[in-house]
Structure 1
Amino acid sequence: MSKKSTLQVEKVTLHIVNWLKEYAENAKVNGFVVGISGGVDSAVTSTLCAQTGLSVLCLEMPIHQAESHVSRGKEHIEQLKKRFLNVNSIEVNLTPVFEDFKKQVPDSNDIHKLHLSLANTRARLRMTTLYYFAGIHGLLVAGTGNKVEDFGVGFYTKYGDGGVDLSPIADLMKSEVYALGTFLKVPDSILNADPSDGLFGDARTDEQQLGASYDELEWAMEEDELGKTAADFSGREKEVFEIYKHLNKTNQHKMNPIPICLVNRN
C-alpha cells in the first residue's frame, strides 16, 4: 500500500499560492498566521503562504512539547525566514496556561478520556492563540490539515486545529503533501520524521494513534470512494479498510455541518 505521488507539483504550487493571495486580497487582510508544529503539513502550508509575498507569521506554541518537534519547527522557521523576507515568527509558551487550566477543572477517574480531553485542550489553546495574533495583525488563520485527516478519518480537534479561516492543502493526500514538501525544499529532518500530532507531550506517532499509516489510510480512502467494502479485502488490507471506515464513521460530527434544529413557523 505504499504511495508515490504523481502530482504536478509546480503547477499545483502555483495554483495554491495564487488561490491564497487572491483570497487574502479579497478579504482585505495583510496575510496569514500559521501554527508551526515541526511536521510536514505546517511546513508546507507556511511555505506556500510565504510564496504569496504577503505577511506570514509563524507561531510556535509549545505545551510540554517533545524536543524533536521543537527543534524541527525551529529549523523550518529559520530556513523560511532566510528565504522569504515577508516571514516573521513568535514563540508563545502555552505550558503555564495549560497547567493553570488543569488546576481550574475537575479531574477524572477515566484516564483515557482525561488524556484525550487534555490533548484536545492543547489544540484549542493553540487555536485561541492563533486567532489572537490574527486579530491584532489583520491576518487569516491558515489551516494545515490534509485530505486524509480532514475528510477521511477526521484526525484533528474540533475547534482546535480544525478551527481555521482557510485550508490550502485540504484537497491534498498525505503523499501529495510530501511531494510538495520536497519541491518546496522543506528540511529533510521534517520530511523524514514520523508524522505526529504532538498533543500528548511525547513522541508518539500518528500511526500509533490511528492503527494504520497514512499510505494505508490513503489507499483505504480511495478504495472507499470506489464503493469497495471490507468484504472485498483480506488480511492487512481488510484490517486497514475497517480501521478507516470506523474512524470515518466515528468522526462524521467533525466533517459535517453543525446540525440545526429547523423550526416550522406555519
Structure 2
Amino acid sequence: MTVSRSLPTSHHAADLLAKVRARRPRVHCLMNTVVQKFTADGITVVGGIPSMTSSRDEIADFVAKADALTINLGTLDAERRAVIRIAVEIANAAAKPWIVDPVHCDYSRGRLEFARELIALGPTIVRGNAAEMALITDTRASLRIQTGPVDLLSDGQRAVSIQNGHGWMAQVTGTGCLSGGVIAAFMAVEKDALLAAASALAVTGCSAEMAAQEAKGPGSFEPAFLDALANITTENIRERARISHESC
C-alpha cells in the first residue's frame, strides 16, 4: 500500500468535507438491507450522491459510474455474494477505491471465508469492530480500521486514533454503516486512505457529539445526527476533532 508521510489533523477533516460538498462524489453501496435508507441519507447530507442497487443486471453499470464503493456483509445471501464479486471486479479494474465491512464475520464461518476472499482482492480499507478484526489478520494491502469507543486506524506505517463520538451511536442501528458510506465519499476526493478515513470518522464523531446535545435519547438522536452532519462547519470540526497520532 503506497502511503504519504502526512498525518491527519482537524484541518484535513474540515478541508476534505468541503471537497466532498463541492464535488458531490457518487458512492455505490452494497449495504445491509436494514440500514440502506439511513446510510443513503448520511452520504447525501455530507454532500455525496448514493446509489444502492444490488441487482445483478445493473451492478456493473452503477459501479462504473461511481467514484467509490462501500460493501457491508450484513444480510448476506448467495445472490448478494455474486453481486459483490461483480462490483469488486469492476472497481478494481477501474482502480476505484472501495471499503469492506465484514459485519458479523465472527458469527459465521461462511461469512468469515467470504470476508477473507474479498480482502485478498485488495480493498482500500477494511473496517470492523474488535471481534471482527481479531479474525481478519492479513490486511497488508489495506488500511485497517478497528471501530469502538476509540477508532484505531493503521496502514502499517502510520497509525492514528479518533476519540470523537457518543454512546448513543451504539444504540442506533446503522451508524457504523453510515460512517462507512461517509468514508467512501471522502475516499473519492482524497487518494490517501488514512487521511480520508480519519477525516470522515472525525466528522461523523463530531456530528454525533453535537447531535447528543440536542437529543433526549437514541430515538431523537438519529434525526439530530443527520441534521448535525448536514450543518457541521469548519469551525465545529477544528474545535472538536480529537485525532491522535500513534506509534505503529
* Greater radius of gyration (CA): 1
Normalising by structure 1, report the TM-score.
0.27
Normalising by structure 2, report the TM-score.
0.28
Q: Larger RCO: Structure 1 or Structure 2 (Cα < 8 Å, ≥ 6 residues apart)?
A: 2
